[in-house]
Amino acid sequence: MIKRRKKKDSAWVIKVTAMERKGRKIRLGLLVDSLEVQAWVLRCIERVVEAGVAEISLVVLPRDVATPLPGLASRLVRNRRHLAWHGLRRIENRLAKPSPDAFEIRSAEKILAGVPRVAVCPRREKFSDYIEGSDLGRIAEHDIDVFVRFGFRILRGGILGLAPGGVWSFHHGDNTQYRGGPPGVWEIFEQNPVTGAVLQQLGDGLDAGVVLDRTFCATDFTSVRRGQNGLFWSALSMLPRALVRLDKLGPDEFFTRARQQTPKPDTLGKIYREPGNFQTLKLGASLLGRIARRKTVNLLTRQQWAIMFSLGGGDFRKLDLPSFKMLLPPKDKFWADPHIIQRDGVYHLFIEEFDRRGGRGHIAWLTIDEAGHCSAPQPIIRQPYHMSYPFVFAHAGELYMVPETFENRTIELYRCTEFPRKWELHRTLMRDVVAFDPTLLNHSGRWWLFANIVETPGASYNDELFLFSADEPTSCDWQPHERNPIVSDVRRARPAGRIFSQAGKLYRPAQDCSGEYGQALTIQEIQTLTETQYAEREVAEIKPTWSPKIKCVHTLSQAGNLTAIDIRLDRRKVL
């Protein structure tokens, strides 16, 4: 049972009654400025339709009203304090052209064909729009459950309470730090490595509504436009996911959970506006400086991943990283993603070996004995697509491997036929999925598969961790976790090695990709793991601070006395 709230407008009273939703889809109303929308909006609408739990039942648009266009001189005077900002945006729109472009204008006519439309003439105040009177009455006739705002300005008044689920809206920014906007701009000023986004049910305060979902992406310190592009592509998935949860949980449980994760008003961030001319000049100088430094580094050096190891054993909190030995590959290769199997006193390392000439990774193998003697890596699995992250594990007397094969849009299971050099493709666990760093865990009588997954082209592959479970690791029937994605935060989502146990507790190595890809490791203690619940907390962090030559570290693997990590160096191209 969904109860509609009674709201009083100055022109008339909206009379609504309780509504039963059983047996039908959520009725969705879209608030847009026109049917020519940005690409991310169109994809979001498509994802809502594909989810199958909601139907677009109404489109609300502003009525075309002829208004005189201010002259050039008037516009210049009105925007005089922000001319540099508008200039920077124009320059970035020409030079920074990410693909796919979230802000490319597309037509929504086809997907919204046959959907009723109501044209309204909102009362406009300085920053806000009020939909009132007969406009509100005509909207109410369509019995909408939830409105989604993709247009208009700040909405106030009766529209906020017209639907039982309220008005949902994206805020591209972490509202505990940045309200207002523009997204991804003030994060650069303040050197914040992450830019957030929330889906909220609008309230009276600016960006202070009930938080339905949130995500965190990496801040792009070289391009506002490119950073916003990735953020908008990543954030759009929050809407279809929230509608699925609303349909499954019902409104009472759904909004109870949402209120629990909504920050208190006194913890919200301050309100930001467009940067002024002087601030924009500083921003432009910062962007140019970072671009110049990056190009200089790329001109003089070549990024290379290498393996480091120690036979000291011990707690992950007490690793003596400066004492680790380095396995440095030739300059035309890099070695990464170490995974260890110990047999007969010998450690077998399975790694990604990337050949710059071929442009793809394959799986290689080497050995390390208790004295620290290492063999040369040998290729053992090659495919006509990129392979990395060779997750190896034993099951039912057999040795298996699940490597990363995102380029093939699969998660594949290999079986060892002759240890350690010969492997065969045993079966494909998942198809048509863009998955990174698949990591398996046998826990509480069930097998769990953790992997970062990209649902929307253009979104980052570092931001969201998904969880699946099955009775057997060889199963092709992996069930998605109820709370997927279980992590939506670039600082701790992506797997970074085998999940391990110490002192009866489970620990998940995770990558922190907020500054750059693989910049650091975090160790997450898994507190709750069931088919309906998941919780973890950070207990340790490994940063590449023990040597100025080391820039990143992004995998941790342990077996017996051996601990292996991979690190990134910037090696000189000459000398």
Q: Where are the domains of the chain?
A: 26-64+102-274, 302-489+548-572
- Considering just the CA atoms, what is the radius of gyration of the chain in Å? 26
Angle between helices 238-249 and 39-51 (to 10 degrees): 30
Tokens of residue 501, six digits: 């146990």
What DSSP letter does each residue of 19-61 carry, written as one string?
Answer: B--TTSPEEEEEE-S-SEEEHHHHHHHHHHHHHSSEEEEEEEE
Up-side HSE of residue 219: CA atoms within 13 Å toward CB?
20
Tens of pLDDT, residues 484-503: 999 999 999 999 999 999 99
Domain 302-489+548-572 superfamily per CATH: Glycosyl hydrolase domain; family 43 (2.115.10.20)
What residues have CB less than 8 Å from 260, skipping those under 6 apart?
Answer: none
- Rounded Cα distance, 33 and 61, in Å: 5
Rounded CA gap, 133 and 131, in Å?
Answer: 7
Closest C-alpha among 66, 162, 56, 63 to residue 119? 63
Would you say the pTM of this structure is higher than 0.75?
A: yes
Give the type of residue at 75. Answer: R
Q: What backbone phi and psi angles, to 5 degrees, belong to 142?
A: -90, 0
Q: What is the mean pLDDT of residues 12-34?
A: 68
Residue type, 549: K
- Would you state the structure tokens that stand for residue 182, as one six-digit string? 């523009």
Query: Is the pLDDT confidence value at 75 over 80?
Result: no
Q: Considering only CA atoms, which of 273, 416, 289 is closest in space to residue 341? A: 416
Provide the pLDDT for residue 14.
33
Beta strands in 397-485 (DSSP E): 398-405, 410-418, 422-431, 435-443, 446-453, 464-470, 479-480
* In the chain, % of residues over pLDDT 70: 93
Residues 452-473: tens digit of each pLDDT:
999 999 999 999 999 999 999 9
In this prediction, residue 269 carries a pLDDT of: 86
- Mean pLDDT confidence for 179-186: 91
Confidence of residue 52 (pLDDT cuts 50, 70, 90): very high
Look at residue 74 in the predicted model and tell me its pLDDT. Answer: 67
Rounded Cα distance between 158 and 10, Å, is: 9
Which residues, at least 6 apart from 539, have a Cβ–Cβ distance to it below 8 Å? Answer: 507, 523, 524, 525
Q: Which tokens is 471 given?
A: 């009775």
* Whether residue 176 has pLDDT greater than 60: yes
User: Would the pLDDT of 21 be above 80?
Assistant: no
- Distance, in Å, from the CA atom of 365 to the CA atom of 420, rounded to the nearest integer, reads 8
The domain 26-64+102-274 having CATH identifier 3.90.228.20: the answer here is no
Q: Which residues contact 444 (CB under 8 A, 6 or more apart)?
A: 529, 530
pLDDT tens per residue, range 418-444 = 999 999 999 999 999 999 999 999 999
